[in-house]
Amino acid sequence: MFKKIEFLGFIAVLVIFTSSCSDYQKALKSEDVKIKYDMAESLYNEGKYTKANRLFEQIMPKYAGKPQGERVVYMYADAAYKDEDYYLAAYQFERFATSYPRSQKAQEAAFYSAKSSYMLSPKYSIDQTDTYEALDKLQNFINNYPDSEWLPEANEMVQELTLKIERKELEIAKNYSKTFHYKASIKSIDNFLVDYPGSELKEEALYVRLNASYELAINSYEYLVKDRLLQAQEAYQELIEDYPNTQFSEEATEINESIEKELSKRS
């Protein structure tokens, strides 16, 4: 008896599913915009965003300039975001904010356009073009909506993305040292310290500069060694003055002892 009930239940679900799919296919092929709209909205409300957007794509041009157009464009952008299609979401939310600047949803659209771009930001070791674009959008949002309820989240995303850019720059400097391009490493760190004076990576940057400065000195022609050792010693002093209890204390002390030893040979 129970097996029969289970079987009938399965058949009922299958019929409903088949009917639903059939209705969706009919809507896709229909020439009636209202049928497409109703089906798209229904699918959107059910969380079936990929299917909904196939229909929204078809009907958006038909609703351009009409009262329903605002709702269609918003649902299309929101469905893309919830479907994790962030490239599409970023573009469509931005389009919405530009097309409907007086809409009650304009601020929300501007935020989610920026957040979609944030979601596209890759790990720091990869090209950061998307990260810079996200930062630009987030900063524009912060400037345009300083009292927004989304301001704290926007600021957090800016901080996270900025740190990612800083890490990228610092790793470039470190890689210069690893490939024995010490001058380039030092120059990169100098630029880093100017561009990001308050970075939480500053301590590490100062240590990288110290190490690169020392390596440059001891691998120089003899007539350059003393001056470059003195520059390395200055780099050590800056690290210790800014960070008396630096996490790089052991390594930095060892480098400084080597600097003093090399200088004593040339006094």
The predicted-structure confidence for 213-224, as pLDDT tens digits, reads as follows: 999 999 999 999
Q: Is residue 1 part of a domain?
A: no
Whether residue 264 is found in the same domain as residue 171: yes
Indicate the residue among 67, 100, 133 that finishes a domain.
100
Name the residue range of residue 188's domain. Answer: 167-267
pLDDT in tens, 64-82: 888 889 999 999 999 999 9
Tell me what pLDDT residue 65 has: 86
Residue 198: name the closest of 166, 170, 172 by CA.
Answer: 166
What's the token pair of residue 10?
């399965």
Indicate the residue among 76, 100, 124 that finishes a domain.
100
Q: Is residue 256 part of a domain?
A: yes
What's the token pair of residue 219?
């691998």
Tell me what pLDDT residue 255 has: 98
Residue 92 CA to chain centroid, in angstroms? 18
What's the token pair of residue 191?
């630029």
Q: Is residue 156 part of a domain?
A: no
Q: How far apart are CA 203 and CA 138, in angstroms?
A: 27
Question: Which of the four pLDDT bands, split at 50, 70 and 90, describes residue 6?
Answer: low
pLDDT in tens, 28-41: 889 899 999 999 99
Backbone angles phi, psi at 196, to 5 degrees: -130, 65
Domain count for the chain = 2
Q: Is residue 231 part of a domain?
A: yes
What angle do helix axes 151-178 and 182-195 make, rounded to 10 degrees? 160
Tell me what pLDDT residue 99 has: 93
- Here the CATH number for the domain that contains residue 36 is 1.25.40
Looking at the predicted structure, is the pLDDT value of residue 12 above 50? no
pTM of the model: 0.86
Q: Look at the block and give the residue holding tokens 């996200």.
A: 134
Q: Is residue 11 part of a domain?
A: no
Tell me what pLDDT residue 22 has: 82
- Here the CATH number for the domain that contains residue 235 is 1.25.40.10
